[in-house]
Amino acid sequence: MTAKPPLFHFDNSYARELEGFYVAWKGAQVPSPKLVLFNDRLATELGLSPNELKGPTGAAIFAGADSPEGASPLAQVYAGHQFGGFSPQLGDGRALLLGELVDREGIRRDMQLKGSGPTPFSRGGDGKAVIGPVLREYIMGEAMHALAIPTTRALAAVTTGETIFRDGPKPGAVLTRVAASHLRVGTFQYFAARGETEKVRQLADYAISRHDPDLRGAEDKYLKLFRRVVERQASLIAHWVLVGFVHGVMNTDNTTISGETIDYGPCAFIDAYDPAAVFSSIDHGGRYAFGRQPVIAQWNLARLAEAILALIEPDDLDKAVTLAADELARFPDIYGKLWLSGMRSKLGLVKDAEDDQDLIEELLSLMKDQSVDYTVFFRRLAETAEGKADPAAALFENTGAFVTWHNRWLRRLQLEDAQTAGLKDRMNAVNPIYIARNHMVEAALSAAEGGNYDQVEQLLDLLSRPFEERPGFEANALPAPEDFGPYQTFCGT
Check residue 486 and give its pLDDT. Answer: 65
Check residue 420 and give its pLDDT. Answer: 64
Distance CA 85, CA 48 (A): 41
Check residue 1 and give its pLDDT. Answer: 46
Print burial letters for 60-76: b (CB count within 10 Å at least 16), e (below 16).
bbbbbbbbbeebbbbbb
Check residue 280 and give its pLDDT. Answer: 81
Angle made by CA atoms 37, 38, 40, in degrees to the nearest 5: 145
Check residue 167 and give its pLDDT. Answer: 83
Give, for 81, the enclosing helix (H) or strand (E).
strand 80-82
Nearest alpha carbon to residue 255 among 302, 216, 191: 302
Distance CA 35, CA 309 (A): 46
Nearest alpha carbon to residue 462 among 437, 439, 426: 437
**DSSP letter string over 412-425?**
HHTT--S-GGGHHH
**For residue 26, how many other CB atoms are within 10 A of its CB?**
17
Angle made by CA atoms 96, 228, 311, in degrees to the nearest 5: 80
pTM of the model: 0.95
Check residue 387 and give its pLDDT. Answer: 76
Check residue 318 and give its pLDDT. Answer: 96
Check residue 488 and give its pLDDT. Answer: 61
- Quick check: is 253 catalytic? yes
442 by Cβ neighbours in 10 Å (0-12 / 13-18 / 19+) ranks as middle
Residues composing the chain: 493
**Cβ within 8 Å of residue 180, ≥6 positions away:** 107, 108, 109, 110, 150, 211, 256, 258, 260
Beta bridge partners of 111: 99, 178
Per DSSP, 288 falls in state T
In Å, what is the CA distance from 167 to each residue of 130, 265, 283? Answer: 11, 16, 19
Nearest alpha carbon to residue 259 among 156, 336, 334, 185: 185
The active-site residue out of 253, 263, 274, 283 is: 253
Distance CA 14, CA 369 (A): 49
Nearest alpha carbon to residue 265 among 60, 441, 486: 441
Q: How would you write the pLDDT of the chain (493 residues) with one tens digit per residue?
A: 455 678 899 999 999 999 999 999 999 999 999 999 999 999 999 999 999 999 999 999 999 999 999 999 999 999 999 988 999 999 999 999 999 999 999 999 999 999 999 999 998 889 999 999 999 999 999 999 999 999 999 999 999 999 998 888 999 999 999 999 999 999 999 999 999 999 999 999 999 999 999 999 999 999 999 999 999 999 999 999 999 999 999 999 999 999 999 999 889 999 999 999 998 878 888 899 999 999 999 999 999 999 999 999 999 999 999 999 999 999 999 999 999 999 999 999 999 999 999 999 999 999 999 999 999 999 999 999 877 888 999 999 999 999 999 999 999 998 887 556 689 999 999 999 999 999 999 999 999 999 999 999 999 999 999 999 999 999 999 988 877 766 666 555 4
| Strands, E assignment, 142-243 | 153-165, 169-179
Nearest alpha carbon to residue 458 among 18, 184, 142: 142
Distance CA 416, CA 411 (A): 10
Nearest alpha carbon to residue 229 among 276, 289, 174, 187: 187
**DSSP letter string over 428-440?**
HTTS-S----HHH
Check residue 451 and give its pLDDT. Answer: 93
